[in-house]
Structure 1
Amino acid sequence: MRPMRTARRRTGALALAVALAGSMGACAVGGDSAVRVSPTAVASAAPERGPAIDTEPDDAAGLSDLTPGTLIASGEFDGRGTTGRIEIRANGEDHGFEIALADVTPAPAAGMSLELNALPVTASDAELQQGFSYYRYDALATSPDQAFSTPGPGYGGFETSDPTYLRTAVIWAAPEGASIGLGSVVATAELAWSLPDLGPSPDLIDLGDATGARGEVGTSREGVPVNYRVAPGDTIDGIGTRFGLTMDQLAWLNPDRSPGRLVLAGITLNLSAESRGLRW
Structure 2
Amino acid sequence: MRQGGHRSVHSIGIATLLAAILTGCTAPAVHPGPSEASNAAAPAPSATAEEDTVKKVPGLSDLPPGTLIAMGDFSGQGTTGKIQIKANGADHGFDVILTGLQPVPLAGASLELNSLPSTASEWDLQQGFSYYRYDPLSQVSDQTFSTPSVDYGGFETNDPRFMRTAVIWAAPPGAPIGLGSVIATATLTWDLPNMPAGPNVTDHGSAEGAQGQVSLGADDTPFSYLIAPNDTENAIAARFGITAEDLEWLNPDRFGDRLNLANITINLSMDSRGLRW
Normalising TM by the smaller chain, what interval? Answer: 0.7 to 0.9
Asked if the contact 1:95–1:160 (Cα under 8 Å) also holds between the matched residues in 2, the reply is no
- Structure 1 residues 263, 199: CA separation in 2 closer, same or farther (over 3 Å shift)? farther
How many positions carry a matched residue from both structures?
237
Displacement, 1:84?
A: 0.4
Counterparts of 1:172 and 1:129, CA distance in 2 = 10
RMSD between superposed Cα atoms in Å: 1.8
- Structure 1 residues 234, 152: CA separation in 2 closer, same or farther (over 3 Å shift)? farther
Displacement, 1:197?
A: 4.4
TM-score (normalizing by structure 1): 0.80
Q: Which amino acid aligns with 2:163?
A: L
Q: Which amino acid aligns with 1:87?
A: Q
Matches within 5 A, 1:166-185: 166-185=163-182
Match in the other structure for 2:241: 244
Residue 160 in structure 1 maps to residue 167 in structure 2: no
Displacement, 1:220?
A: 1.1
Match in the other structure for 2:266: 269
Displacement, 1:125?
A: 0.5
Counterparts of 1:60 and 1:238, CA distance in 2 = 25
Counterparts of 1:157 and 1:97, CA distance in 2 = 12
Asked if the contact 2:216–2:224 (Cα under 8 Å) also holds between the matched residues in 1, the reply is yes
Match in the other structure for 1:5: 4
Residue 132 in structure 1 maps to residue 129 in structure 2: yes
Counterparts of 1:260 and 1:153, CA distance in 2 = 26
- Provide the secondary structure at the position in 2 that maps to 1:171: strand
Q: Which amino acid aligns with 1:147?
A: T
Say which one has the larger Rg.
2
- Provide the secondary structure at the position in 1 that maps to 2:161: coil
- Structure 1 residues 154, 260: CA separation in 2 closer, same or farther (over 3 Å shift)? farther
Asked if the contact 1:113–1:180 (Cα under 8 Å) also holds between the matched residues in 2, the reply is yes
Identity across aligned pairs (percent)?
57
Counterparts of 2:112 and 2:212, CA distance in 1 = 34
Name structure 2 gaps, 5 residues minimum: 16-55
Matches within 5 A, 1:1-280: 1-2=1-2, 4-10=3-9, 14=10, 28=14, 61-151=58-148, 155-199=152-196, 201-280=198-277
Displacement, 1:172?
A: 0.2
- Provide the secondary structure at the position in 1 that maps to 2:101: strand
Counterparts of 1:168 and 1:237, CA distance in 2 = 32
TM-score (normalizing by structure 2): 0.81
Counterparts of 2:151 and 2:211, CA distance in 1 = 34
Q: Could you give the per-residue CA deviations for residues 175-195 of structure 1, whole angstroms, max 9, x where no partner exists? A: 111111101000000001111
Counterparts of 1:193 and 1:107, CA distance in 2 = 25
Displacement, 1:259?
A: 2.1
Name structure 1 gaps, 5 residues minimum: 19-26, 30-58
Asked if the contact 1:60–1:196 (Cα under 8 Å) also holds between the matched residues in 2, the reply is no
Q: Could you give the per-residue CA deviations for residues 120-172 of structure 1, whole angstroms, max 9, x where no partner exists? A: 01111011000100100111111111111112787212111001100000000
Q: Could you give the per-residue CA deviations for residues 227-272 of structure 1, whole angstroms, max 9, x where no partner exists? A: 1111111112210111001011011100111322111112111000
- Structure 1 residues 179, 128: CA separation in 2 closer, same or farther (over 3 Å shift)? same
Q: Which amino acid aligns with 1:196?
A: P
Counterparts of 1:113 and 1:216, CA distance in 2 = 39
Counterparts of 2:238 and 2:57, CA distance in 1 = 28
- Structure 1 residues 144, 93: CA separation in 2 closer, same or farther (over 3 Å shift)? same
Asked if the contact 2:172–2:178 (Cα under 8 Å) also holds between the matched residues in 1, the reply is yes
Q: Which amino acid aligns with 2:129?
A: F
Q: Which amino acid aligns with 1:276?
A: R
- Provide the secondary structure at the position in 2 that maps to 1:266: coil
Counterparts of 1:132 and 1:153, CA distance in 2 = 22
Q: Which amino acid aligns with 1:192?
A: T
- Provide the secondary structure at the position in 2 that maps to 1:164: helix
Counterparts of 2:236 and 2:72, CA distance in 1 = 37
Counterparts of 1:204 and 1:236, CA distance in 2 = 15
